[in-house]
Amino acid sequence: MITRTTNQTLARNAQQNLQATMSRMAKLQEQVSTSTAITRPSDNPAGTADALQVRAEIRANTQYSSNISDADGWLTTVDSAMNNTTDLLRRIKDLALRGASAGLSPANKDAVAAELDGLKQDLLKEANTTFAGRSVFAGTSDAKAAVAVENGEYTFSGSSTGVLRRIDGGTPVRVDADGAAVFGTGANSVFALVDTLAADLRSGADVTGHLASIDARANTILSRHTEIGIRHASVLKARDTNLDQTVSLEARRSGIEDLDTAQVILDLKLQEVAYQTALSVTARSLQPTLMDFLR
């Protein structure tokens, strides 16, 4: 069977070919103007799914970065407070040793006791250190102060539940310190210890027995401080890992979504040449018909 090819068939085929060429050219122009390889999911369904996954990982990594910065702030504040507390206890021990001297006059003992009162206030200040408006020794409690003083008694008003920050996909890190464990509570607190030491100095009693208690509290603080240092080191390591992950994820996203601009521009120029060529060939192949002369 012989298929008849008419001018109308040639014109329709030519129009379809030109439309297809224009569509490809328009797609390339859109890519160049948006600078992205995927302008709609239908462009690359598999690439779209990968891009969505990578972008979700980027958002999570960004949140981890924010958590790391917050955790670093908490732990830096706690570390500073612990350092100051250790220095204060060292000074308190020096004063206790001085007060234990047999030849110290009552007036000098009163002066040492007065300095101890001032150091106790400094200890309370460290115990109630805050970061971003929250006490770093009160746990998850919203109490303004971890240690409250009422009628000469010291009460821990915080919570034993720690403040946690998720710095990666693993286990959250505690970013505060247990004030009750660091400073003690009630009559067993370091504040009560200093009060007793000062009172014994004023009364002329032997204060040698307090030295062991001061050392025990200093060792407790050192142990807790070491824990803080370990947690802080893990946060700093997580920050470095997070930065590496940020670069890696951005490279993955760019590989999926961004286009090679130079290559696309070259393809666009080639497509424009192809379109112009198609127009020229179509004009030559579609010769005038008898109806064109009868008009």
- Strand pairing of 164-165 and 173-174? antiparallel
pLDDT at 120: 95
Q: Where are the domains of the chain?
A: 52-252
34: its two tokens: 């948006």
Residue 166, pLDDT score: 95
* Residue that has been written with the tokens 């521009």 in this structure: 265
What pLDDT is stored for residue 11 in this prediction? 64
Q: Quick one: pLDDT at residue 2?
A: 58
Q: Which CATH number fits domain 52-252: 1.20.1330.10, 3.40.50.300, 2.40.160.20, 3.30.70.260?
A: 1.20.1330.10
130: helix, strand or coil: strand
Spell out the per-residue pLDDT of the chain, length 295, in tens: 556 656 666 667 767 776 777 777 667 666 666 667 677 777 678 888 888 899 899 999 999 999 999 999 999 999 999 999 999 999 999 999 999 887 788 899 999 999 999 999 999 999 999 999 999 999 999 888 899 888 888 989 888 899 999 999 888 999 999 999 999 988 899 999 999 999 999 998 989 999 999 999 999 999 999 999 999 999 999 999 999 999 999 988 878 876 666 666 666 677 777 767 766 766 666 665 555 545 5
Number of alpha carbons in the 13 Å side-chain half-sphere of residue 164 = 8
